[in-house]
Amino acid sequence: MSKFSIQDFKGVVPALLTVFDKDENIDEMGMRQLVSFLLDKGVNGLYLTGSTGEGFTMSSIERMRVVEIVMDEVAGRVPVVVHVGAIGTKLSIELAQHAERAGADGISSVPPFYWRFNEDQIVKYYEDIANATSLPMIVYNVPLVGLLGMNAIKRLAQIENVKGIKYTALSLYEITQIKDEIGEDFLVYSGADEMAMAGLLAGADGIVGSFYNVMPELFINIYNAVQNKELDEAKRLQKEAVEIIMYALSYPSFYALMKVMLKWMGINAGYCRRPFENVTPENEAIYKEGFKVLKEKYEIHDVEFLKHL
């Protein structure tokens, strides 16, 4: 049973990686270690089985198992939202209903994808899933599967259980517009890691992102600096984040690189599933040296993984 209100789902929220072993099986101990690491760092919640979690490479049974492992490890310490998006509404509903049984505090989904669905079909998809459980739902605006216009967002906000939006588009002025036209109680989560500060300044209630897995302390410091109106400090920290992220994104499979970055800190984050490429020992050595150069060039002293190079 859910422990938190969706209004508690704020602050810094990693879009959790899924830990696989070399044979591409879910690594339960690795999952637990990663969750424990992030909770010890002080993150405010977790977002499961989305794009960063390689959710679309897993079967429904596997996605459900990840939810069960994480919910058990979290043990009610922070709110958890489960991404239930799938290529069919029936599958999404099954995942949503399982998330509710597992005790999740909310659900979320990308819009229906692959086929070019129109606005009415997208709204109906979200309506069907939202009505299938009593959990609050976070809809999703992301360029990868097609951006929603303001009209669609307003229509979605009228669905009873839809309580917010994960906003990964770069047109951050719309965060302000959403808050103004829909209302302050409609939650907005900024989803672009490299624009976390800007998203918060635009009015986002929280930030949900991939790189929060590997340097949560940096984004917690950005969040706190914005809350305390220490904007010069927030700007400095965001610049550090951008430099690290841009370098990491130069690797073809940055999810795999993030798992190696965690390994440097003694966290077993395992491997990615194909067709994602894993990091070879040769590339690991190259990127380790590259991060050392980055650390010295930008005098970055407050990011833990850089201390383990």
Which amino acids are annotated catalytic? 140, 166
Cα distance between residue 152 and residue 280, in whole Å: 43
Determine the Cα–Cα distance for residues 57 and 80; give it in Å rounded to an integer: 21
Torsion sign across C-alpha atoms 123, 124, 128, 129: negative
Q: Which residues of 146-160 are buried (b: 16+ CB within 10 A; e: fewer)?
A: ebbeeebbebbbebe
Tokens of 244: 């690290």
Distance of CA 156 to the CA centre of its chain: 21
Q: How far apart are CA 265 and CA 80, in angstroms?
A: 24
The three-class DSSP label of residue 146 is strand
- Alpha-carbon distances of 31 from 72, 87, 253, rounded to whole Å: 11, 25, 20
Degrees (nearest 5) of the Cα angle 305, 255, 27? Answer: 90
